[in-house]
Amino acid sequence: MSLRSLVRGWVRVVMTGSLALAAPFVLSVALSGAVTVALSISLPGAVRAETASPLKAVTFLPPGSAFIAPFQDLVAGINASAGETGPRITVIGGPEAVPPFELGRAVALGAVEIGVLPVNYYRDLAVEAEALQLLPGRYHEMRATPAWEILEEVHEKAGLKLLGVYGDTVPFFTYLVDPVETLDFSGLRLRVTPVYDAFYESLGATTLTLPPGELHAALSAGAVDGFGWPAWDVTTFGWDAFVRHRVEPGFYKTAIAIVMNARIWNGLAEADRHALERAVQEFEPRASERMAETTRKELAKQDEAGIATIDLGADLVTRAESAYWADLAARSPETVARLRALAGE
């Protein structure tokens, strides 16, 4: 049985409440015939014993993707400086290992120790984390603000440790097969993830939630008229063969979270926790600058591929942010109100 199938079944069992928690248990599965992944659930409050084994990570896109490359650089740096006893990380796979929209819960349950995924992919656990995409400033700058403390608390309650976030120099755009002239999207069918839902629906569009791996087929079949997506990878995934227009200006910020199972994090030696925190905090500002340059290059690739730009003005950004804040507030009124006040809204 594959890790993907096992996690799907395990998450389903836990969510339906049919898992007996009378005693701890451990499941082990062979991954590619060579790697053994220990999956454990125990009574609340239990702490995993310290281990010298590498921490296993799964990413929401394939490890070779542009959005995952910064994390792979981080992992390489951590492993290079680990020595004989320091913490190490092994990336065991992407969507083929754990479905992207189930990755957050898989990490919270301890099926995977580290997950790398957009904050809106685990809104069922910590919808407040999506405020990262609306708060002012770069992510490494937010660490010194009260907002970061709130977000750490939110993740802890969900069984997660927020190790870091990257992507603040990568805005979102709307990509369309056919052009539009106004912010009236009535009649359009747009592929979304939760980050776009409220905004696109406020413009009259019909939304369809799909993982990235299914978007090419949806475009090819004419099932969608376009999609929301950050500035990167549109040409890499071949979506430019279908969409010929990019609506500007960009809105929100990409927020790819590096989250760890909180129980496993607390079970690490203090020196290992400090080493991981230091590595991630040094990584964030470097990633921000490098990703800004990549954003410029990716948009140039789209221009070269013949994707035309449609500028609908600053009102697009205002309406996008207002719709998103309202959506988050409806799901977590008190905490989102605190975060929105810190954003000066």
* Confidence band, pLDDT 50/70/90 cuts, at residue 46: very low
Distance from C-alpha of 142 to C-alpha of 216, rounded to nearest angstrom: 35
Is the residue at 17 inside a domain? yes
β-bridge partners, 229: 173
Q: Are residues 244 and 271 both part of a single domain?
A: no
Tens of pLDDT along 287-338? 999 999 999 999 999 999 999 999 999 999 999 999 999 999 999 999 999 9
pLDDT at 57: 98
Range name among 31-45, 73-87, 151-165, 187-201 with the lowest pLDDT average:
31-45
Share of the chain above pLDDT 70, in %: 85
Range name among 30-39, 142-151, 206-215, 265-274 with the lowest pLDDT average:
30-39
CA 182 to each of CA 11, 315, 320: distance values in angstroms, whole numbers, following the listed order: 42, 11, 14
pLDDT at 287: 96
Domain that holds residue 324: 172-252+305-342
Residue 247's region, left for phi above 0, alpha for psi from -120 to 50, else beta, is beta
Please give the average per-residue pLDDT across 194-218, as a whole number: 93
Q: Which of 38-42, 194-198, 264-268 has the highest mean pLDDT?
A: 264-268
* Confidence band, pLDDT 50/70/90 cuts, at residue 115: very high
Please say whether the beta carbons of 108 and 158 come within 8 A: yes
Q: Are residues 47 and 75 both part of a single domain?
A: yes
- Counting the structural domains of the chain, the total is 2
* Confidence band, pLDDT 50/70/90 cuts, at residue 64: confident
Please give the average per-residue pLDDT across 29-33, as a whole number: 33
Structure-model confidence comparison of residues 38 and 75, the more confident one: 75
Structure-model confidence comparison of residues 341 and 12, the more confident one: 341
User: In the numeric block, which tokens belong to residue 67?
Assistant: 């959005």
Distance from C-alpha of 256 to C-alpha of 222, rounded to nearest angstrom: 29
Going along 160-205, which residue ranges are E strands?
160-166, 172-176, 189-192
Please give the average per-residue pLDDT across 135-149, as a whole number: 95
Please give the average per-residue pLDDT across 66-94, as a whole number: 93
Is the residue at 300 inside a domain? no
Is the residue at 108 inside a domain? yes
pLDDT at 27: 32
| CATH number (domain holding residue 240) | 3.40.190.170
- The continuous run of DSSP H or E covering 258 comes out as strand 256-261
- Reference 130, options 88, 96, 172, 71; nearest CA is 172
> Is residue 102 scored above 50 in pLDDT?
yes
Q: Are residues 19 and 68 both part of a single domain?
A: yes
Is the residue at 318 inside a domain? yes
> Is residue 9 scored above 80 in pLDDT?
no
> Is residue 170 scored above 50 in pLDDT?
yes
Structure-model confidence comparison of residues 64 and 59, the more confident one: 59
pLDDT at 5: 53
Q: Are residues 109 and 33 both part of a single domain?
A: yes
